[in-house]
Structure 1
Amino acid sequence: MIRDLTDTTTTAVSKTLVRLRNDVGAMALGRVLTLIVVVDDTDASEAIDVATHASRQHPCRIIVLIPGERRGRSRLDAQVRLGGDAGASEIVVLRLYGPLAKHGPSVVVPLLLPDSPIVAWWPGEAPDDVANDPIGTMAQRRITDAAQHRNSRAVLRKRARTYRPGDSDLSWTRITRWRGLLAAALDQPPYEAVTAAVVSGAPDSPSTDLLAAWLAQRLKVPVQRVATPRGSGISAVRLERRSGPIDLVRPGDVVATLSQPGQPDRRITLPRREAREILADELRRLDPDDTYEDALLLGIEKLTPVRLSAEQAARTGKAPSPDDSRRLAARLRRDDSAKEAMAMVTAPPAPDTAETAQVRSATRRKLAGEPTPREEKAADQAADKAAYKAAYKAPKSRKTPPTRKASS
């Protein structure tokens, strides 16, 4: 259900929310937080779609704040969405015009849910200091996306200078699976210390910088960054150990390979994560992310400038080769297909009934001239019956005399 309100007030918006809620019926799930989305009009539709899907896991009230043209008189246009058009949330879209566009926090405050956490999200470019931004000061969590800025590395350094507990970035959430796979690989034998690391990624990928910073901070080893083509994201990670390197390589957008000494090569599904998925991950925790804080404040400063391309590093053996990873993934896929086909050929057919094995055994005994279990049972029953008759049947009597005729 959607209601549009033109040149309205926050009081009218609140009354409309109450009236629509009564018309639709009570919400089945309680709203656990208020999500404030600060976005430009051009990106508002996509941001609302992402927030709506994320709210299916975290029911909330979504307030979308769109600062419009600042010339002209002050005006507030609103749209209220409830029910099927809002997923598991309530969506209030606020478009501010004129001098009112500078006073977004004053417009938002009357619509906040009482006694519930507040999360602020900037899908596009965010303020330089989100913690001191008027919207950021009222939020427990402040979510940005450094990948939306032109110079992502400069933005990360700026985020480090202005960091406050509760700040987070979607570029960090995008590497959750990479961090999990690398940590799991180090938890397997031979449990050797890592002596160096190499991270291959695009120069416009802040996730690559954060992954390298996390490795540098956690492993306390030098981490070298090598460059891949722009837009390719993270391509590979190599962890050097005495027995040999651990290579996690994703040459494309979905399939990756994991190679390490003493373990079979593995083909892993490692797709790029969508915005709705990573936003839902961010909304799962409302406490400060200490691991992100260490990587941002202590790891970024340990990174050295990028001096090699991925091709140069692969030729010199300093980084894994994406071409070798593609060939390895293709070979593993063929091996898996061959194993599946062989299993289909050699696997015994499923029994039609629970007695199939017994029927086959009886057939083999019949062909061999041996009595089947059923025939043996029938013979035993016949023998028992004959013995019973022989033991208990009365002897036959002699010829009985004729009966006398009754006299008349």
Structure 2
Amino acid sequence: MRTELTDTTSSKVDRALLAARRAIGSPTMGLVLTLVVVTDEENAYDAVRSASDAAREHPCRIIAVIRRTARGPYRRRVSRLDAELRVGTDAGTGETVLLRLHGALTEQAGSVVLPLLVPDAPVVAWWPGEAPADPAGDPIGALAQRRITDAAAAADPIGVLDERAAAYRPGDTDLAWTRLTPWRALLAAALDQRRLDVTGAAVESEADNASAELLARWLEDRLGVPVDRLASDGPVITRVSLRSTGGEVRVDRPGGALATLSLPGSPDRRVALKIRSGAELIAEELRRLDADVVYGSALRRRPLQTGLSA
């Protein structure tokens, strides 16, 4: 069921949601959280689609805050809220509310969203594109227990990581970090198989890759060794190597979904290491609502060696 409201208010949207649920007999008791997606019109379709796919695993109310600013000399006078509600089969396993904020109302997004939160359910805020320098200090971020950003969407991904490190608060995370879960699991398992004294490491990736920088900081934080940043043609991270007195541990992924794991004294093995979709990344983040202390520690790690070399 779809309902469209033009030049409306949050209270009218809430009443329309209640009426839609009653019409189709859909309660909110099955919703485990509220996912607030803050985006612009250009990226709204892809972001809402990823959130909807993730909601198949985590039934939730998706609130998409789509900021639209009019052009011209009267842009500040145009202040309007338009809404589209999707309940039932049109929203998959949860509910979807698209809020288009026009003009000065874009600066009051927190007040618009607050009445639409599911009572007693945790709130997760996600900025798929441009995000505030201090997510926890943002009006919408202040409503959320978890705040998800994506440094890969920034013009200066490495610089954004430094900004996020300065403003970090428990509950913050970034999809650049989520993309590393298979890499971190594989490297940790490799070191569990062979107890090696690691003396140095290298991460090879395309230039200005935020995930590669976070992986290097994580290795420095956990192993206490300098990590070289090496440039490649990509895509994304192509190789990680750990130098030790017993030989080299290496993961090569020049492209595709498969990587080669090399361990000293063992034959090479092929392992799955695909590049995951946005929906898969969001679904992973929605599995945990507690603070990711490992991410916070890696993010704030002062690099032992900075910059990329060819």
Q: Tell me which interval the TM-score lies in, with the shorter structure as reference length.
A: over 0.9
1:228 pairs with 2:232: yes
1:184 pairs with 2:189: yes
Letter of the 1:66 partner, please give it.
I
1:108 pairs with 2:113: yes
TM-fit CA distance, 1:104: 1.0
Change (3 A) 1:28 1:77: closer
1:62 pairs with 2:62: yes
TM-fit CA distance, 1:127: 1.0
- % identical equivalent positions: 51
Matched residue, 1:303: 305
Distance in 1 separating the partners of 2:211 and 2:69: 34
Distance in 2 separating the partners of 1:100 and 1:305: 41
Distance in 1 separating the partners of 2:208 and 2:178: 16
CA contact (8 A) 1:64 1:92 kept: yes
Q: Bigger shift: 58-67 or 167-176? A: 58-67
Deviation digits for residues 276-312 of structure 1 (CA, Å, limit 9, x no counterpart): 00111111111110100110112x43332222x2xxx
Pick the structure with greater CA Rg.
Answer: 1
1:279 pairs with 2:275: no
1:207 pairs with 2:207: no
CA contact (8 A) 2:262 2:269 kept: yes
Equivalent of residue 134 in structure 1, options 114, 131, 139: 139
Letter of the 2:227 partner, please give it.
V
Larger helix proportion of the pair: 1
Distance in 1 separating the partners of 2:306 and 2:66: 39
CA contact (8 A) 1:212 1:303 kept: no
Larger strand proportion of the pair: 2
TM-fit CA distance, 1:253: 2.5
Matched residue, 1:369: none
1:50 pairs with 2:50: yes
CA contact (8 A) 2:197 2:246 kept: no
Distance in 1 separating the partners of 2:28 and 2:82: 29
Matched residue, 2:199: 195
Equivalent of residue 153 in structure 1, options 153, 158, 171: 158
1:242 pairs with 2:242: no
CA contact (8 A) 1:172 1:292 kept: yes
CA contact (8 A) 2:220 2:303 kept: no
Distance in 2 separating the partners of 1:255 and 1:233: 14
Change (3 A) 1:60 1:175: same
Letter of the 2:44 partner, please give it.
A
Distance in 1 separating the partners of 2:21 and 2:48: 20
TM-fit CA distance, 1:88: 1.3
Change (3 A) 1:83 1:92: same
CA contact (8 A) 1:216 1:223 kept: yes
Distance in 2 separating the partners of 1:163 and 1:101: 24
Matched residue, 1:91: 96
- Normalised to the residue count of structure 1, the TM-score between the two structures is 0.73
Q: Cα RMSD (Å) of the superposition?
A: 1.4
Matched residue, 1:33: 33
Distance in 2 separating the partners of 1:95 and 1:239: 49
Letter of the 2:254 partner, please give it.
P
TM-fit CA distance, 1:29: 6.3
Q: Which is bigger in relative contact order (C-alpha 8 A, separation at least 6)?
A: 2
Deviation digits for residues 5-26 of structure 1 (CA, Å, limit 9, x no counterpart): 1112222211211111112223
1:218 pairs with 2:201: no
Letter of the 1:108 partner, please give it.
V
TM-fit CA distance, 1:73: 2.8
Where do residues 253-268 of structure 1 align in structure 2 (5 Å cutoff)?
253-268=256-271
- Normalised to the residue count of structure 2, the TM-score between the two structures is 0.95
Distance in 1 separating the partners of 2:121 and 2:98: 20
Deviation digits for residues 203-248 of structure 1 (CA, Å, limit 9, x no counterpart): 121000000110011011111110112x521000111122210110
CA contact (8 A) 1:213 1:303 kept: no
TM-fit CA distance, 1:131: 1.3
CA contact (8 A) 2:13 2:83 kept: yes
